[in-house]
Chain A
Amino acid sequence: MTDRIVSAALGSASREVRHSALVRYGVWVAAAAAMAAMPFVFRSGTAITVMSLIGISIIFSLSYNILLGQTGLLSFGHAVYYGLGGYLAVHAMKIIIANGFPIPLPLIPLIGGIAGLFFAVLFGWLSTKRSGTAFAMISLGLAELIGSSALILRGFFGGEEGITVDRTKLLRIFEWSFGPQVQVYYLIAAWCLICAFLMYALTRTPLGRMCNAVRDNPERVQFVGYDPRMVRFLAFCLSGFFAGIAGALATINFEIANSALFGAVQSGTVLLATFMGGAGFFFGPVIGAILVVYLQLMLSDLTSMWQLYFGLLFIAMVMFAPFGIAGLIMMHRTLWRTGVLHTVLPSYLLALVPLLVMLTGAALIIEMVHHLAAKAAEGPAMTFAGIRLQANAVGPWIAGLLMAGGGFLLFRRASRAVAAAWSRAGSTAAAGGRP
C-alpha cells in the first residue's frame, strides 16, 4: 500500500521533471524557430536592421544583468567592454584581411569577447574591491578614463571619425559573403541565442547561485567560506566577455568602430533597458532591450524630444514599478494562476482614462514650451496630435493645464481603487483562490 503511494508519487514527480525539461528546452527551440522565421515575416530592410539591433542589444543587456540583477553591482561604465570588444574586433578583422588568415567572419565576435574579458579582468580587479555605491562611482570614473582616451590615442581609436572595415573581405564559408543585411541578421541571431543560453546556464551553476548570495548578503557569504570579492570579480569578467561579443557584433553590423561605442550614452542606455525590462528576472533584459530599441526608433520619428519622454518614463518606472516590466508580468501571473486576475481588471480601466488625459495634457504643455523655445522663428502655429493650435494662445494652455491637473487628481483617486482591488485579490489568492 505504502509502496504504491510512493511509486505513484515518484511517477508523478518524474512526469513533473520531464514536463519541466520539455518546457525548459522547448522555450529555446521556440526562440530559435522564431528568430529563424522573423526575416520571412518582416521582410522590409528597416525591419531586418531593427531586428539586428535588437539582437545585439539583447546580448548586451543580458550581460549587464549578470552584474545588476544577479550580483547586485550597479555599473555606469559597461559600454567600456562593449566598445573595447568592438574596437579589437575591427583591428582583428583588418589584420586578418591584410594577411589573408583563414578565419571566417562568424568567429570574429569571439575575438571581441576575449578582448572584453581581458579588459574586464584588468579593470574588474580594481573596481570589484568595493561594492555598492563606491563600485558605481569607480565604474563611472573608469568609463570616463577610457572614453577620454579614445580622443587622445588617435592611432588606435581613430579619433572622431573612427575606424571602418569591410566585413565581406574575410574567408567565406558556404558562399556567405555577409554583404546583405539578412545574413548579418542570422549571424547576430545565432550569437544571440548561444550567448543567451550560456548566460541562462550560468544562472543555474553554483557560481550563479553564489552571485545571488553576494547580492543578497555578502557577510553571510564570507561566513560560508567564500570570498565575495572573488565572486564579484568572476561575475564581472563573464559579464565583460559577453559585452565584448555584443560590441564585436555591433561593429560587424555597422562596419565601423567609433568613440560613441563606449560613450556614456551607451552605458546609460543598457542600464535603462535592463532596469525597465526588469533586472530581477532572466527574461527582463530581453524585454527591455526590445522595448528600448523600438522606443528609440519609434519615438524619435514621432517627436524631436523623445529623450525627454524617455527619461520621464524611466523615472516613473523607478518610482512606481521598480521591478520592471518583467516584475509587472510576474505579479499578474500569480493572480492569473489563482484565478483572480479578472477582479482587478475593471479598476485598471477606471485608472487608464484619467491617466491618458493627464499624459496628453502634460505632453501638450511640453510640446508647446518646446515649440515656443526652440522654433520661435516658425511662429506660434503648431499641430498637436493632428489638431492645429497657436502655442502662444491662452486656450491651449488652459486646456493643457486642466487636462494634466484634473487627470492627475482623478488618477490619484482611481489608483486607490486599484490598490483596493489588489489587496482584495491578494487576500482571495491567499485564501485558496477562485472566489
Chain B
Amino acid sequence: MLELIIVSTLNGVLFGMLLFLMASGLTLIFSMMGVLNFAHASFYMLGAFFGFQISRWVGFWPALVLAPVLVAAIGAAVERFGLRNVHRHGHVPELLFTFGLAYVIEEVVQIVWGKSPLDFRVPAALDFPAFTIFATNYPAYKLFMLLISIGIFIALYAVLTRTRIGLIVQAALTHPHMVAHLGHNVPLVFMLVFGVGSGLAAVAGVIAGPALVTQSNMAALLGPILFVVVVVGGLGSLSGAFVASLLIGLLQTFAVSVSLSLADVVGLFGYRPAPDSLLKDIWNVTVAQIAPILPYLLLVLVLILKPSGLMGTRET
C-alpha cells in the first residue's frame, strides 16, 4: 500500500508537472491576448514528432534543444502572420483560427509520419532504473523528466518575477494599453510570449514522447485536459494552473490503481442493484475505468461550486 502511494505520488507529480509545462504557456497566452489557443496541444505534438525526427538524425540531446526552438519559431510565426491579422475580426474568429490550425497540424503530422505510433526510445544514457522502492524499479528517465519540468518551472517563475521583460509581461497581462503608452513594444511581447509558450509545450512533447506514446492523436487526447486545467485553476492565473495541474496529475494517477465500483460501495450497506437494467454499467464500472473522465467531472464540480476556478479572479 505504502509502495503504491509513493510510486503513484511520484508519477502523479510527474504528470502534473508535464501538464503545467503546457498549461503555463496556454494561460499566459490567454491572459495576455484573450486568445484560447486551441493549437497549444498541437505544438506539444509537434515537439514530440520533431524531437523524434531530430533524435534520429543527430541524437536525443540536441533534439531536446532544437525541437523546442523550432516549434517556438513556428509559434511566433503563427502569431505574427496569422493571429495578428485575425485579431481585428474579434475573439471568436481568433479562437476558430487556432481551431483550424490544430486540425491542419494533425493532418500534416499524419501525412508526414503516418497514423501509427512511432518508435521513440528513451536515450541510452538514461535507460536504467534510478532507484528501487520496495519491489518497484523507478526509471531514471522519469526522474529526468521530473527534474527538467521542475527546472523550467523555477526558471519561468524567476523570469516572470525577477527580470525586466517578466515585469513587462506581467504588466501587459492586465494593462496592455498602458504598457504600450509607456513605450514598450507590446505586439513584440505578445509574439515572444506566444513563441515561448509554444516552445514550452514542445519541451513537454520532446520529454514525454519516449515515455508516453508518440502518435498523431496525442494532441487531441491531451488538449481537452489542458483546457480543464486552465478552467479549474482559474482563467489567467498561473498559480491556479500550477495547483490544478498537480491536482489533475495526482487524481488521474491514483484513480487508475483503485478498483472500487459503485456496486461495492452500496454493497457495504447491503443494497444489490438490479443486474440487467439499461444503466447497469454505472454500478459496475470501477474508479480505474473512469480515470480518463475524472478531470471532466472535476471541471463540472468546480463550475458548480466556484465558477471562477480555484484561484481565478476574473469572470469571462
Q: Confirm or deny: A131 has a beta carbon within 8 angstroms of a beta carbon on chain B.
A: yes
Nearest B residue to A312 via CB reads B104
Interchain CA distance A366-B108 in the complex, whole Å: 9
Chain A 393-434 near chain B by CB (<8 Å), digits 1 or 0: 000000000000000000000000000000000000000000
Report the minimal beta-carbon distance from B40 to chain A, rounded to whole angstroms: 12
Report the minimal beta-carbon distance from A68 to chain B, rounded to whole angstroms: 8
Interchain CA distance A81-B173 in the complex, whole Å: 37
Q: Confirm or deny: B299 has a beta carbon within 8 angstroms of a beta carbon on chain A.
A: yes
Chain B neighbourhood of A144, CB < 8 A = 224, 293, 296
Number of interface residues of A (CB under 8 A): 48
Interchain CA distance A137-B303 in the complex, whole Å: 12
Q: Could you tell me if B82 and A319 are in contact, using CB atoms closer than 8 angstroms? A: yes
Q: Confirm or deny: A357 has a beta carbon within 8 angstroms of a beta carbon on chain B.
A: no
Q: Could you tell me if A307 and B107 are in contact, using CB atoms closer than 8 angstroms? A: yes
Q: Could you tell me if B107 and A154 are in contact, using CB atoms closer than 8 angstroms? A: no
Q: Could you tell me if A148 and B97 are in contact, using CB atoms closer than 8 angstroms? A: no
Which stretch in A113-121, A167-175, A282-290, A367-375 binds the other chain?
Answer: A367-375
Listed in ascending order, the chain B residues whose CB lies under 8 Å from chain A are 30, 34, 36, 82, 85-86, 89-93, 95-97, 99-101, 103-104, 107-108, 111-114, 220, 224, 227-228, 230-231, 235, 277-282, 285, 289-290, 292-293, 295-297, 299-300, 303-304, 307, 315-316
Nearest A residue to B315 via CB reads A130
Q: Could you tell me if B316 and A131 are in contact, using CB atoms closer than 8 angstroms? A: yes
Given contacts A148-B293, A149-B293, A312-B104, contact A141 B227 (CB under 8 A): yes
B297 touches which one: A138, A145, A318 (CB < 8 A)? A145
Q: Confirm or deny: A136 has a beta carbon within 8 angstroms of a beta carbon on chain B.
A: yes
Report the minimal beta-carbon distance from A122 to chain B, rounded to whole angstroms: 11
B281 touches which one: A141, A156, A373 (CB < 8 A)? A156
Residue among A72, A91, A145, A156 with the highest chain B CB neighbour number at 10 A: A145
Q: Could you tell me if A137 and B230 are in contact, using CB atoms closer than 8 angstroms? A: yes
Q: Could you tell me if A318 and B93 are in contact, using CB atoms closer than 8 angstroms? A: yes
Given contacts A133-B95, A140-B224, A141-B228, contact A315 B101 (CB under 8 A): yes
Report the minimal beta-carbon distance from B50 to chain A, rounded to whole angstroms: 15
Given contacts A133-B30, A311-B107, contact A152 B300 (CB under 8 A): no
Q: Confirm or deny: A134 has a beta carbon within 8 angstroms of a beta carbon on chain B.
A: yes
Interchain CA distance A311-B107 in the complex, whole Å: 9
Q: Could you tell me if A126 and B300 are in contact, using CB atoms closer than 8 angstroms? A: yes
Q: Confirm or deny: A179 has a beta carbon within 8 angstroms of a beta carbon on chain B.
A: no
Q: Could you tell me if B296 and A141 are in contact, using CB atoms closer than 8 angstroms? A: yes
Q: Confirm or deny: A261 has a beta carbon within 8 angstroms of a beta carbon on chain B.
A: no
Q: Could you tell me if A148 and B296 are in contact, using CB atoms closer than 8 angstroms? A: yes
Given contacts A315-B104, A322-B93, contact A137 B307 (CB under 8 A): no
Chain B neighbourhood of A133, CB < 8 A = 30, 34, 36, 91, 95, 235, 316
Chain A neighbourhood of B112, CB < 8 A = 369, 373
Given contacts A74-B95, A311-B100, contact A154 B36 (CB under 8 A): no
Q: Confirm or deny: A155 has a beta carbon within 8 angstroms of a beta carbon on chain B.
A: yes
Q: Confirm or deny: A142 has a beta carbon within 8 angstroms of a beta carbon on chain B.
A: yes
Chain B neighbourhood of A134, CB < 8 A = 231, 235, 316
Chain B neighbourhood of A143, CB < 8 A = 224
Report the minimal beta-carbon distance from B90 to chain A, rounded to whole angstroms: 8
- B interface secondary structure, majority: helix
Q: Could you tell me if A136 and B36 are in contact, using CB atoms closer than 8 angstroms? A: yes
Q: Could you tell me if A132 and B316 are in contact, using CB atoms closer than 8 angstroms? A: yes
Chain B neighbourhood of A305, CB < 8 A = 107, 111
Q: Could you tell me if A153 and B282 are in contact, using CB atoms closer than 8 angstroms? A: yes
Chain A neighbourhood of B93, CB < 8 A = 318, 322
Q: Confirm or deny: A264 has a beta carbon within 8 angstroms of a beta carbon on chain B.
A: yes
Chain A neighbourhood of B292, CB < 8 A = 148
Interchain CA distance A67-B282 in the complex, whole Å: 32
Interchain CA distance A312-B224 in the complex, whole Å: 22
Chain A 254-291 near chain B by CB (<8 Å), digits 1 or 0: 00000000001000100100010000000000000000
Q: Could you tell me if B227 and A140 are in contact, using CB atoms closer than 8 angstroms? A: yes
Report the minimal beta-carbon distance from A418 to chain B, rounded to whole angstroms: 17
Given contacts A133-B34, A138-B231, A319-B82, contact A155 B100 (CB under 8 A): no
Residue among B112, B114, B227, B280 with the highest chain A CB neighbour number at 10 A: B227
Interchain CA distance A319-B36 in the complex, whole Å: 17
Chain B neighbourhood of A224, CB < 8 A = none
Given contacts A132-B316, A319-B86, contact A137 B36 (CB under 8 A): yes
Given contacts A311-B107, A315-B101, contact A156 B279 (CB under 8 A): yes
Q: Confirm or deny: A308 has a beta carbon within 8 angstroms of a beta carbon on chain B.
A: yes
Chain A 35-74 near chain B by CB (<8 Å), digits 1 or 0: 0000000000000000000000000000000001000101
Pull 6 A–B residue pairs with CB atoms less than 8 Å apart, ordered by A: A129-B303, A133-B30, A369-B112, A373-B111, A374-B111, A374-B114
Q: Could you tell me if A275 and B293 are in contact, using CB atoms closer than 8 angstroms? A: no
Nearest B residue to A310 via CB reads B103
Chain B neighbourhood of A271, CB < 8 A = 96, 99
Q: Could you tell me if A370 and B111 are in contact, using CB atoms closer than 8 angstroms? A: yes
Q: Confirm or deny: A200 has a beta carbon within 8 angstroms of a beta carbon on chain B.
A: no
Q: Could you tell me if A153 and B285 are in contact, using CB atoms closer than 8 angstroms? A: yes
Report the minimal beta-carbon distance from A348 to chain B, rounded to whole angstroms: 21
Given contacts A133-B36, A138-B299, A152-B290, contact A315 B97 (CB under 8 A): yes
Report the minimal beta-carbon distance from B251 to chain A, rounded to whole angstroms: 14
Q: Confirm or deny: A314 has a beta carbon within 8 angstroms of a beta carbon on chain B.
A: yes
Report the minimal beta-carbon distance from A144 to chain B, rounded to whole angstroms: 4
Given contacts A130-B307, A145-B293, A315-B101, contact A153 B91 (CB under 8 A): no
Report the minimal beta-carbon distance from A378 to chain B, rounded to whole angstroms: 15
Tell me the A299-326 residues at the B interface (CB within 8 Å). 305, 307-308, 311-312, 314-315, 318-319, 322
